[in-house]
Structure 1
Amino acid sequence: MSNQTRQNTEANGASHESSLSYNLPNYIQSVRLKYVKLGYHYLISNFVYLMLVPLMLTILSSIHISVHSFHDLVQLSLDLVKYNLVTVFMCTGLLVFLGTLYFMSRPRTVYLVNFACYKPDEARKVTREIFMDRTIKLGIFSQENMDFQKKILERSGLGQETYFPEALIQMPPNPCMAEARKEAELVMFGAIDELLAKTRVKAKDIGILVVNCSLFNPTPSLSAMIVNHYKLRGNILSYNLGGMGCSAGLISIDLAKELLQVHGNTYALVVSTENITQNWYWGNDRSMLLSNCLFRMGGAAILLSNKRSDHRRSKYQLVHTIRTHKGAEDKSYTCVYQKEDQNQTIGVSLSKDLMAVAGEALKANITTLGPLVLPVSEQLLFFLTLVARKVLKIKHIKPYIPDFKLAFDHFCIHAGGRAVLDELEKNLDLTTWHMEPSRMTLYRFGNTSSSSLWYELAYTEAKGRIKKGHMTWQIAFGSGFKCNSAVWQALRTINPSKENNPWMDEIHKFPVHVPRFTPLNMSS
């Protein structure tokens, strides 16, 4: 170690010691509170077991059966069987009947066999420089709005290797119907081909098909496009969801789950994508220019099954899906809105109220999800805080935000933008490690709309973080306004060396540092 390095180290150490000594009382208090809460959590979670020990001791101490030998114990058992044989048979028959009734009436288990994310080729990569070059050459944006887009790109959290469809890269651009179909086929068929190769499932074995794409809805539909290309069977249950925004991927999962629970022994193929060829904004309204800077090309295909024989080879089991819709409120309904600007140019406008609306939708969603997943200790704290605030009217008590890290091992939060991720990290009290899949997906692939959650789960798998029994929370926001959640439990430990996903050839490069979001004035 050089003298200069040693001096810097000593200086840093001295500074740290000085800071630590200055904040020592606060530091000790925070550590104490942390361990007090941890102890409370373990006490409440294991309360039943702790109470059972003295209860069993009390029961054992109150029993005074005089059994002098093993022979006496055997004789006692024989006498009981002799005089209560009818009762034994009746109880056994009742238990068998009730057990059969329970197993026949409970919903079918839904397994995620595997999934695949589409990775475009190198020719479709778009750096910030290429983006700005194409923007300038179009000659339709004012200088102020070109500067605005440049600032958005620098603050967005997107990196230098995101993807655009060919129709928007070439000069002049060619956003026609044929090119939009070409983008849809490239993304959807690419993801499905990889998925079928991974699972070795034949296309004819798929009984349910659910496709979601918010802005591109041609006739015939995208689901019909898949049926035609893969020659799926004639009685397939196919659905095409449009106009449902970035959260439509989890709506598709929920719909497939409902169908799998009533249709026996079949597979459901879910395809989530967005098409931007015909949805690029060619005007100067800044609220609409934001989508040009954030949205990128991508898609995912997911194979679900209700076959018990697929338990061993499946990756995850679907535990919960929670859907929250705030569309009854006008502010929520219009915060993400496709419309025409003053020059009759169509675009998607993002309201300045978006963050507040997303926060309200999240609150409603986790209020429903919390009781299903949180330990009793967290639910008790939430309930007591609620009573103190609403019933006892103690205003200085802040609303208690449950610690979802006690319920989930991994978080896949829709990579809509850096500001959204920063806000959720703060509100849910998550760590940098928990947010890493979402931030790295935004950086590497951009906002791929409803498919972003699957790029995030693929990142987590590529890092070797998924272990058997781990719980993963997927959460997405979308126009309408909607907040949807899905909870998955890992059925096995995922070995990254055996995975084929869009991260594997470059996962060693991540994570990378992404600066924090700095708000930009929309009018400046």
Structure 2
Amino acid sequence: MSERAAFINQVTTAVPSQDVHKAFLAWAEQRLPDERQRSVFRRMAERSGINHRWSVLPTTAGGGSPVADGGLYADAPPPTSERMRIYAETAPELALAAIAKLDAGAIARTTHLVVASCTGFVAPGVDQIIARRLGLANHVERTLIGFMGCYAAIAALRTAYHIVRSEPAARVLVVTVELSTLHLQFTDDMEALLGMLQFGDGAAAAIVSADATGLRIDRPFAIAMEDSETLIQWAIGETGFVMQLSGEVPGRIGSALEKPWIRERILDAVDAGKIDSWAVHAGGRSILDAVQRGFDLPANALDRSREVLADFGNMSSSTLMFVLAAILRQSDEGERSGVALAFGPGLAAEGFRYERAA
């Protein structure tokens, strides 16, 4: 291996303890004005491929969900200030829960900390809070990647890749933490409710270094798709962060993957059928279907992404990290090469090729 190589040595994950998926489905269905819409919503929810989504929000005194009496969303949408207060308290805790599963010796040798999060803001930042709570040296270099959305994990790992390639002795702690359930919106718009039913909370942590173990990061890429900037939008409102997620996204992704120049950027002249494994951001069943059709992949090619979607939903930037964790955990000698790929606001696609260390 080249001395300039960078490897994802470990990836660990954490989710909160409360499963809110079924409670949200019942709440959302009640907001729709007629039975025809409710029937369509139920059918779409059943086809979503999601069984569980987890939230940092506490249960009520009676053990109910955030939309039950006494919950955060029981009566009226709370202001952004209240949501950010909860973020400041709980985002570091969830991030630290993921970090605690990493090898303690690797954490102690951290030289750089890269944190990605788009579901909240606090200053001093989550990066500083994490560094202080871990007792990292005060000269550890920190980078905070915010508001990039679902492909921020790629940006964080790519940042670590460049650090290690320029400083081979570096040991980078990469963290993603997303609290999407803090941004529930009160609406009777079916498209908005279908968008919200996908999102949950989760955190992940990784060690990236020159140590030749795990997955070697190779050939990062970034693609901004033309005339697509309105398809995924994420704005700060008076009652949380408001996402606009167009139903056109899967179709636009599918058509983009047919373009030779985009395929070349992602596959680097390798036939898609010769890629051993795929770490695709589980942004939704229709997005995974679009990628599978676009590259004409076998039926089981995106199984790990679909399993993450089923068990956790879309956790924004943390989702791809959960897929990478599964790839590292479920070692397969036949899986030597792979593609990590995520989509987000822009509409943009970002990713990298990876190879399993010998």
Return the TM-score normalized by structure 1: 0.59
Higher relative contact order (CA 8 A, sep 6+): 2
Query: Does the aligned pair in 2 maintain the 1:244–1:480 contact within 8 Å?
Result: no
The 1:148–1:219 alpha-carbon spacing in structure 2 relative to 1, beyond 3 Å, is farther
Aligned to 1:332: 228
Q: C-alpha displacement at 1:431, in angstroms?
A: 1.0
Equivalent of 2:215 in 291, 295, 316: 316
Equivalent of 1:450 in 301, 305, 317: 317
Query: Does the aligned pair in 1 maintain the 2:32–2:190 contact within 8 Å?
Result: no
SS at match of 1:294: coil
Aligned to 2:298: 431
Equivalent of 2:46 in 154, 159, 162: 154
Aligned to 1:484: 350
Equivalent of 1:285 in 169, 180, 189: 189
Distance in 2, Cα, partners of 1:483 & 1:189: 28
Query: Does the aligned pair in 2 maintain the 1:325–1:361 contact within 8 Å?
Result: no
Q: C-alpha displacement at 1:450, in angstroms?
A: 1.9
State whether structure 2 residue 20 is matched by structure 1 residue 126: yes
State whether structure 2 residue 57 is matched by structure 1 residue 166: yes
The 1:417–1:202 alpha-carbon spacing in structure 2 relative to 1, beyond 3 Å, is closer
Correspondence 1:77-226 to 2 at 5 A: 108-121=4-17, 124-128=18-22, 130-135=23-28, 142-143=33-34, 149-159=41-51, 161-167=52-58, 169-170=65-66, 171=68, 172-174=70-72, 176=82, 177-197=84-104, 200-203=105-108, 205-226=109-130
The 1:201–1:339 alpha-carbon spacing in structure 2 relative to 1, beyond 3 Å, is closer
Deviations along 1:40-89, one digit per CA (max 9) or x if unpaired, are xxxxxxxxxxxxxxxxxxxxxxxxxxxxxxxxxxxxxxxxxxxxxxxxxx
Quick one: which amino acid aligns to residue 318 of structure 1? I
Runs of at least 5 residues in structure 1 that lack an aligned partner in the other structure: 1-102, 375-402, 493-524
Q: C-alpha displacement at 1:256, in angstroms?
A: 1.3
Distance in 2, Cα, partners of 1:421 & 1:268: 30
Q: C-alpha displacement at 1:221, in angstroms?
A: 1.5
Query: Does the aligned pair in 1 maintain the 2:223–2:348 contact within 8 Å?
Result: yes
State whether structure 2 residue 273 is matched by structure 1 residue 405: yes
Quick one: which amino acid aligns to residue 165 of structure 1? V
Aligned to 1:64: none
Query: Does the aligned pair in 1 maintain the 2:277–2:335 contact within 8 Å?
Result: no
Aligned to 1:272: 176
Distance in 2, Cα, partners of 1:270 & 1:436: 25
Query: Does the aligned pair in 2 maintain the 1:270–1:302 contact within 8 Å?
Result: yes
The answer to which of 274-283 and 175-184 deviates more is: 175-184
Q: C-alpha displacement at 1:152, in angstroms?
A: 3.1
Query: Does the aligned pair in 2 maintain the 1:251–1:323 contact within 8 Å?
Result: no
Quick one: which amino acid aligns to residue 369 of structure 1? I
Q: Percentage identity across aligned positions?
A: 23
Query: Does the aligned pair in 2 maintain the 1:322–1:365 contact within 8 Å?
Result: no
Quick one: which amino acid aligns to residue 232 of structure 1? L
Equivalent of 2:263 in 346, 366, 388: 366
Q: C-alpha displacement at 1:348, in angstroms?
A: 0.5
Query: Does the aligned pair in 2 maintain the 1:253–1:270 contact within 8 Å?
Result: yes
Q: C-alpha displacement at 1:127, in angstroms?
A: 4.6
Query: Does the aligned pair in 2 maintain the 1:167–1:277 contact within 8 Å?
Result: no
Q: C-alpha displacement at 1:317, in angstroms?
A: 1.6
Query: Does the aligned pair in 2 maintain the 1:468–1:491 contact within 8 Å?
Result: no
Q: C-alpha displacement at 1:430, in angstroms?
A: 0.8
Distance in 2, Cα, partners of 1:345 & 1:162: 19
Distance in 2, Cα, partners of 1:442 & 1:191: 18
Aligned to 1:419: 286
The 1:340–1:202 alpha-carbon spacing in structure 2 relative to 1, beyond 3 Å, is closer
Q: C-alpha displacement at 1:449, in angstroms?
A: 1.8
More strand by share: 2
Q: C-alpha displacement at 1:135, in angstroms?
A: 4.4
SS at match of 2:127: helix
Quick one: which amino acid aligns to residue 216 of structure 1? G
Q: Larger C-alpha radius of gyration, 1 or 2?
A: 1
Distance in 1, Cα, partners of 2:335 & 2:50: 32
Distance in 2, Cα, partners of 1:481 & 1:153: 24
Equivalent of 2:340 in 471, 474, 478: 474
Distance in 2, Cα, partners of 1:254 & 1:346: 26
Q: C-alpha displacement at 1:468, in angstroms?
A: 7.4
SS at match of 2:99: helix
SS at match of 2:197: helix
Query: Does the aligned pair in 1 maintain the 2:280–2:342 contact within 8 Å?
Result: yes
Distance in 2, Cα, partners of 1:251 & 1:134: 35
Query: Does the aligned pair in 1 maintain the 2:8–2:206 contact within 8 Å?
Result: yes
